Structure 1
Amino acid sequence: MARAPGLSIRLKLTLSYAGFLMLAGVLLLAAVWVFLLRYVPDRALIVPGSTGGLTPGVFPIRSNLLHVFAPRAAAVMAFLLLLGLVGGWVLAGRMLAPLRQITEAARTAATGSLSHRIRMTGRRDEFRELSDAFDSMLQQLDSQVAEQQRFAANASHELRTPLAISRALLDVARKDPARGRDELVERLYVVNTRAIDLTEALLLLGRGDRGTFTRGPVDLSLLAEEAAETLLPLAEQRGTSLDVTGGPAPTSGSAELLLRMVTNLVQNAVVHNLPAGGSVTVHTEADGGTSVLRVGNTGRRLPADLVPTLTEPFRRGRGTERVRTDEHAGAGLGLAIVHSIVRAHDGTLDLAPRPDGGLLVTVRLPGPP
């Protein structure tokens, strides 16, 4: 049920200003009465001439003074009321002008336009701080919406690719019944597996962004050993050595998500490595109140401007940027998932190119409470 519109803030401020001004006038008149008029005699006082320097004559009595003073006091009070209303309306309008700018910006943002900024000038006061905070919020929202739109477009493209391949394979099989079914089933299985992996990666990325998981005690060193044991056959197949060093690194979080984080880092380090004779090192340690995980690998030298973009969703290395093979084309979500999981666990992720080639990834997570 809609509520009836109330008084505007400007009108409330105007009435407040006028009320305070009238109160000040009443207090002033009360002070005149208490400290002046009450000492005027009620009856006429005749003072004869004397040597004391007093002028002979008749002094006014209190009733005469009130008769003359009351109309003028009422006129002054009426003037104060008018001045309070007019002046309060003008002053309230000037003081609320910045608030109207912020309101217009909010209405513009509500229509879906997040590129508008207030950029209020002048001295830094409460309205200026509110305006700057609102501009900062709009900038973050604009960036997040643009990122979500880019992510949705890339996800749609990635999911469309295996579906298009599956349809093409089925069309070929339908037009050529003599074509071997075993080959068709195998290729459809590969494409379907890729689509399932991509869907699971998207769901995992969204789960990390939302932070919807139950926290519990986790040791990164145990997760590192488990991930290394799982990926050791892949490392041996590629001729890459895999070493796990360090000590316990306790933290608090989701064991499932943190295991996926470590697995993605180790798998990326194995895949994006030298064709042969490469190495991957996984190190865990507790540094004060922080648990640290470092994953380093050998490989080609990475441009410094490329490294910060590796955590973006669907970012794939091209040409000499990253070394990949077709069997590990992936969806470009490995480091994006890692970044999402680290951020959901209130940690930090640092990527640094190694001078001799390869990448060093450092994850810092808060220790257990």
Structure 2
Amino acid sequence: MDRASGLSVRARLTLSYAGFLMLAGVLLLAAVWVFLLRYVPDQALMITGSMDAPHHGVFPVRSNLLRVFAPRAAAVFAFLLAFGLAGGWILAGRMLAPMTRIADAARLASAGSLSHRVRLPGRRDEFRALADAFDEMLARLETHVAEQQRFAANASHELRTPLATSKALLDVARSDPHHDARRVLDRLHAVNSRAIDLTEALLLLSRAGQRSFTREPVDLSLLAEEAVETLVPLAEQRGVTVETEGDVTPTAGSHALLLQLTTNLVHNAIVHNLPERGSVRVGTGVRPGTVLLTVENTGEELTAQAASTLAEPFRRGAERVHADHAGVGLGLAIVRSIAQAHDGTLTLTPRPGGGLRVTVELPATELKGRIRTPARTRDESGRPRGA
């Protein structure tokens, strides 16, 4: 919106300083003049001559005092005005110097340079707090933009692969009329299914990042049960034992997104497990102010550095790329995005002896009538063990 230009902040501060100084001078001179009027008479009797022949005369005192005082007071006012303007301009410039640095940094950021920082020196005051907050904002923006650029590049690469594969299959089928059409259709179906899964995962990741959902009461322990029930056939196929245990874990958020979070974690734990006789443990718990969802699985040994990168988009270990149900590399990235959208955290920790421990911590909410959920274990056939 276009606005009329006006005086700068520095000019307004200068005029304010000078005006305040002039007002103080007026009050001081007024006090001096009132004092003089109170103790100085209008007229004074002056006696001149000798003691033998004195001469008496009456002289005006106040009028003479005013005639002498007025020009000197005007000179003082002129000096105060000049001094106030000059000193106010210098003081305003020193006071607004941090704002100039912040404005320069903002202009650089608007031009695309997010690496610049204000780094205001000196003790912590209001300007220092503003500059530090601006630097923190720039750091977060720089990290976010870098992540978005990396994500866009990875997504473009992942989407280009199925499209290029489909084009190659169609070119082969068109150049060779005797090619097995059924085989081409099967491969095209598989490639397109992967592209659709990737697109849906990208849309889900975007939805979670925008926080465009309605919060409602959710029990993570029930979501864990539902996710395990859904993935029992996959666990049977891969010979993985799934165990669930924990308390009622009340939180608030999107039921659909939190169910997707839980399903992704359980699916990831089942797929990236030992070739045979693997196990998965799903647990829920309550801490003061927070609730926990923990998913542990056996598997190959991981370093702490490798485990910390698994939640990055399209990050897959070498052993995961060619595995069945390998997914599109967004499972844990979606989990982290959903957790952050619910003001929670995601922690990935390698288990001693191999495998991964994933912990999601979310804010807790009040829920009346706590009911303890008994531990249940499911074997390879999907039947529950224990009461």
Question: Who is 1:241 aligned against?
Answer: 241
Contact 2:302–2:354, Cα closer than 8 Å, also in 1:
yes
Structure 2 equivalent of residue 43 of structure 1: 43
Show CA shifts across 1:121-149 (max 9, x none). 12322222221111111111111101100
Q: In structure 2, what is the equivalent of residue 328 of structure 1?
A: 325
Return 69-78 or 128-137, whichever deviates more: 128-137
**1:258-337 residue pairs with structure 2 within 5 A?**
258-318=258-318, 323=320, 325-337=322-334
Query: Which residue number corresponds to residue 117 of structure 2?
Result: 117
Distance 1:38 1:256 in 2: 86
Other-structure match for 2:78 = 78
Superposition map of 1:179-198 within 5 A: 179-198=179-198
Q: Deviations over 1:321-357 (max 9, x none)?
A: x556432232211100000111111112221111111
Contact kept, 8 Å, 1:307 with 1:351, in 2: the verdict is yes
2:346 corresponds to which of 342, 346, 349:
349
Provide the residue aligned with 1:93 in structure 2: 93
Q: Is the contact made by 1:272 and 1:324 (CA closer than 8 Å) also made in structure 2?
A: no
Structure 2 CA distance for aligned equivalents of residues 288 and 136 of structure 1: 29
Q: Percent identity?
A: 68
Counterpart check, 1:163 vs 2:163:
yes
Give 2:384's aligned residue. Answer: none
> Which consecutive unaligned segments of at least 5 residues does structure 1 have?
49-55
Count of residues paired in the alignment: 360
Find the residue that maps to 1:36 and give its secondary structure. Answer: helix
> What residue in structure 1 maps to residue 385 of structure 2?
none
Partners of 2:273 and 2:298 within 8 A in 1? yes
Superposed CA RMSD in Å reads 1.9
Q: Distance in 1 between matches of 2:213 and 2:192?
A: 28
Q: 3-state DSSP class of the match of 1:301?
A: coil
Secondary structure of the 1:118 match is: coil
- Aligned AA for 2:45? L
**CA positional deviation for 1:151:** 0.4
TM-score, normalised to structure 1, is 0.93
Indicate conservation of the 8 Å contact 2:18/2:85, yes or no. yes
Match of 1:18 in 2: 18
Structure 1 pair 204–47 and aligned structure 2 pair: CA distance change class (3 A):
farther
Q: Give the Å deviation of 1:38.
A: 3.0
CA distance 1:139–1:353, change in 2 (3 Å): same
Q: 1:123 to 1:292 in 2, by over 3 A?
A: closer
More strand by share: 2
Distance 1:231 1:325, change over 3 A: farther
2:127 is aligned with 1:127? yes
CA deviations 1:138-178 (Å, max 9, x no partner) are 11111110110000010011011101101111111001111
- Partner Cα distance (2:292, 2:126) in 1: 41
Report the Cα offset of residue 208 of structure 1.
Answer: 0.7
Q: Deviations over 1:71-95 (max 9, x none)?
A: 1111111111111111111221122
Question: How far apart are the structure 1 equivalents of 2:297 and 2:321?
Answer: 14
**Runs of 5+ consecutive residues of structure 2 not aligned to the other structure:** 49-55, 367-387
Shift of 1:46: 4.1
In structure 2, do the counterparts of structure 1 residues 128 and 287 end up closer, same or farther at CA, with 3 Å as the change threshold? closer
Q: Distance in 2 between matches of 1:106 and 1:343?
A: 27
After TM superposition, the score normalised by the length of structure 2 is 0.89
Inter-partner Cα distance in structure 1 for 2:194 and 2:47 = 116
Does the 8 Å contact 2:216/2:253 carry over to 1? yes
8 Å CA contact 1:271, 1:324 repeated in 2:
no
| Contact 2:43/2:58, CA 8 A, preserved across alignment | no
The alpha carbon displacement at 1:42 in A equals: 0.8
Query: 2:346 is paired with a residue of what secondary structure?
Result: strand
Deviation at 1:223, TM superposition (A): 1.2
Give 2:364's aligned residue.
367
For 1:242 and 1:324, how far apart are their aligned partners in 2? 23
Equivalent runs, 1:130-141 vs 2, <5 Å: 130-141=130-141
On the 8 A contact 1:314/1:332 being kept in 2, the answer is: yes
SS at match of 2:262: helix
- Where 2:90 maps in the other structure, the secondary structure is helix
Is the contact made by 2:241 and 2:279 (CA closer than 8 Å) also made in structure 1? yes
Question: What CA distance in whole angstroms lies between the structure 1 residues aligned with 2:250 and 2:42?
Answer: 92
Once the two structures are superposed, residues 188-240 of structure 1 have per-residue CA deviations (whole angstroms, 9 ceiling, x without a partner) of 11101100000000010111111111111211122111111111111111111
The CA distance in 1 between the partners of 2:126 and 2:151, in whole Å, is: 37
Deviation at 1:58, TM superposition (A): 8.1
* Secondary structure of 1:327's aligned partner: coil
| Aligned-partner Cα distance in 1 for 2:234–2:129 | 55
Q: Is the 8 A contact 1:274 1:323 kept in 2?
A: no
